[in-house]
Amino acid sequence: MNNTKVFLIFVLVILLGTSGLLGFQYWKADEKNKALENQVLSLEQNKSDLEEENNQLKSDVSALEDTNQEILAQVNELAEQISELGQEQSQFKQQVEELKKKSSSICTEDNSCKFRTPGSGFRCNEDGEYNGYGDYWCECTINCEVNIQG
């Protein structure tokens, strides 16, 4: 019976050792499980924070798109104003040239009004050329152009 007692003690020791080893492994797995649960909670919090930041960024992008549309409208308006100002500038240049011509006392255009004063008249042919005995009366306009009258 001695062998049987030794064998039973041996089996009991093995069972206690295995039980202790399984308990230790369970404890380690439980610690890893708690660590993983903490990581999951941390990742969920990070996900929540990132979603909130993403929503804020979407809102910012929307605001920037609205601002961009407003800026484009202003650019188009300014381009239109520049075009209008260019036309005004052209008109002003034309008026300045007309005033220069008005202020000069003698026409310099290469036509029958050359060397005549604006507003003066003369006898001319049908084509506006000077002819002291012409059948038409011509006048030099303010712009020194020949104006033929019947």
pLDDT digits (tens, 9 = 90+) for 36-49: 888 988 898 999 88
List C-alpha distances in Å: 125 to 53, 115, 129, 149.
Answer: 88, 18, 5, 10
**At residue 102, does pLDDT exceed 80?**
no
Q: How confident is the model at residue 100 (pLDDT cuts 50, 70, 90)?
A: low
Query: What average pLDDT does the structure give for the chain?
Result: 87
3-state secondary structure of 147: strand
* Residue 143: how many other CB atoms lie within 10 Å: 14
Between 73 and 105, the higher pLDDT residue: 73
pLDDT above 90 coverage of the chain, percent: 25
Residue pLDDT, tens place only, 113-125: 888 888 889 999 9
**At residue 142, does pLDDT exceed 70?**
yes
**At residue 139, does pLDDT exceed 90?**
yes
Between 45 and 3, the higher pLDDT residue: 45
Model pLDDT, residue 101: 61
| Least confident segment among 7-21, 29-43, 60-74, 92-106 | 92-106
DSSP assignment of 81-128, as one string? HHHHHHHHHHHHHHHHHHHHHHHSSS--SSSTTTTS-TT-EEEE-TTS
Mean pLDDT, range 57-70, rounded to an integer = 91
**At residue 56, does pLDDT exceed 80?**
yes
